[in-house]
A and B are shown apart, each in its own frame.
Chain A
Amino acid sequence: MIIDHPLLGPRDSAEFTYMGDARLIDRPDPEATDAAEAFYDYGYLRDNPAGWHDELWFHEAGDRSWLVITRNTITHEISKVELARDVARARGRSK
């Protein structure tokens, strides 16, 4: 596969390491009263869609950016690639 890196342009996916669902960015609040349940959900349950999937890839053999890639799990088509740091900021992880 080829990942169109937002900074570097098209790069072979073999340069990247896959982690999984981009919801892993949304780490729950450990102080919340339902933290145990929330972390179980965060850690273990997945939508696992047959279709579009936001997922985390690490440019291990490249610039060491984590990326959020929107990829179709049926066709492998990639429709969007963003720096995970930007996504994390947009999702309010900066505190």
Chain B
Amino acid sequence: MRYSGFQVIKQALTGHKGWTPAWRDPEPADHYDVVIIGGGGHGLATAHYLAKVYGNSKVAVIEKGWIGGGNVGRNTTIIRSNYLLDGNEPFYEFSLKLWEGLEQDLNYNAMISQRGILNLIHSDGQRDAFIRRGNAMILNGADAEMMSTAQIKARYPFLNTYDARFPIKGGLAQHRGGTVRHDAVAWGYARSADSRGVDIIQNCEVTGFRIKDGVCKGVETSRGFIGAGKVGCAVAGHSGRLMSKAGMRLPIESHVLQAFVSEGLKPVLPGVITFGAGHFYCSQSDKGGLVFGGDIDGYNSYAQRGNLPVVEDVCEGAMAIFPMLGRARLLRMWAGIMDMSMDGSPIIDQTHIKGLYFNGGWCYGGFKATPASGHVFAHLLATGEPHPTATAYRFDRFQKGLMIDEKGMGNQPNLH
């Protein structure tokens, strides 16, 4: 069924009887061309692009719980392509372009809202670094604008520019950045992939890989063996756990990242804003909640919950730039498991096991990458070659010393 305003009206007038399930609930087949492990944003997007762009519908997405229940369902919904390094920027810009056409591509309104992202600058050194980054963005075909404090103040009149411990000296804006209704991304990809014949199999946990003579033949699951020509893993957060079943150790640690939402408030924040002298970034959802976050807790964790110090640190950042938020209330805190990689950048590559492909290490940049990640992973699975925007995301870059380290923190994942 095609979604449209007309359809909504028609259904409303006929008692909403015609709405059908957004995706089927099929039994797994014995064999697929491609089995994608992980029914999150990346896995579902991979299936969508495999079917739509690369013409392969003999695809299954297998998910141990419910689709969209991982990080695509628990993030701060920001999209942007304001990266510095050549290994990253073309990829994220590709992603942003895919976001821009996603609703029509999927026939699903994921509420992509390009209200801009603004990184505040608090020192001369930071300005230099942001100018370099803004230039890298423009040279890669993305948009970037340096905003003066006065321009920023006009957009955020309540910004603390008068009593700031670390004065605001401007900001780097990407006006095409913004936010997306995150759950809808998973559902939209799922619905689209399903409509093209992809089997989305929920409540099916992978218990092992069937590997013979260095070739992956399929996956053992809680619902039996599923054969596959190729297996793609897209389970960021749990990459280490999954790949250990194939005997692999990864340049990745799993960490906890918390995020927060306030009670619903009448609109105050026009776009996404990030504090440059502390850990705080914030946007306001179409429902009115301030959605905000900061740094990871900093220790390895699969617990999906964090602790108070980070909550306080984030709120201190909030009050530092927006002292008017004092009486807004934090409604809920939650946490996701991050695949923190050794250089802060992802890995999309074949493994040394033939037929087994890996997509992970997203740190906390995974949500914005969803469309491109799916697209380039589909490309890799379909063609065996890396997509031109993702050639740097190789496993062997650490061995060779070709890290893609945006923050310059080195091989300590919790610092990225």
Which residues of A line the B interface, CB within 8 A? Answer: 1, 13-14, 17-21, 40, 43-50, 53, 55, 71, 73-76
Contacts and interface: CB of A to CB of B under 8 A. Distances in A.
A74 B307 CA distance: 14
Given A48-B300, A50-B254, A74-B302, 9 more contacts: A17-B298, A43-B411, A44-B411, A46-B253, A48-B241, A48-B253, A49-B240, A50-B240, A50-B241
Nearest to A36: B399
Interface in B225-274: 238, 240-241, 244, 249-254
B125 interface: no
Contacts, number: 68
B399 A40 contact: yes
Contact of B412 (A19, A47, A50, A73): A19
B207 interface: no
A50 B245 CA distance: 13
The 5 closest A-B pairs by CB, nearest first: A48-B240, A44-B251, A44-B398, A45-B249, A14-B309
24 contacts: A20-B253, A20-B300, A20-B414, A21-B253, A40-B398, A40-B399, A43-B398, A43-B411, A44-B398, A45-B250, A45-B251, A46-B249, A46-B251, A47-B240, A47-B249, A50-B240, A50-B254, A53-B300, A55-B300, A73-B254, A73-B300, A73-B301, A73-B302, A75-B303
Contacts of B398: 40, 43-44
Contacts of B413: 20
Contacts of A45: 249-251
B240 A46 contact: yes
A78 to B, nearest CB: 11
Contacts of B300: 20-21, 48, 53, 55, 73
Contacts of B411: 43-44
A73 B252 contact: no
Interface in B264-319: 298-303, 307, 309
A74 B272 CA distance: 32
A16 to B, nearest CB: 9
B342 interface: yes
A81 to B, nearest CB: 14
Contacts of B302: 50, 73-74
Contacts of A40: 398-399
Contacts of A48: 240-241, 249-250, 252-254, 300
A94 B298 CA distance: 30
A1 B251 contact: no
Given A20-B412, A44-B251, A46-B250, A74 B303 contact: yes
Interface string B13-57: 000000000000000000000000000000000000000000000
A92 to B, nearest CB: 23
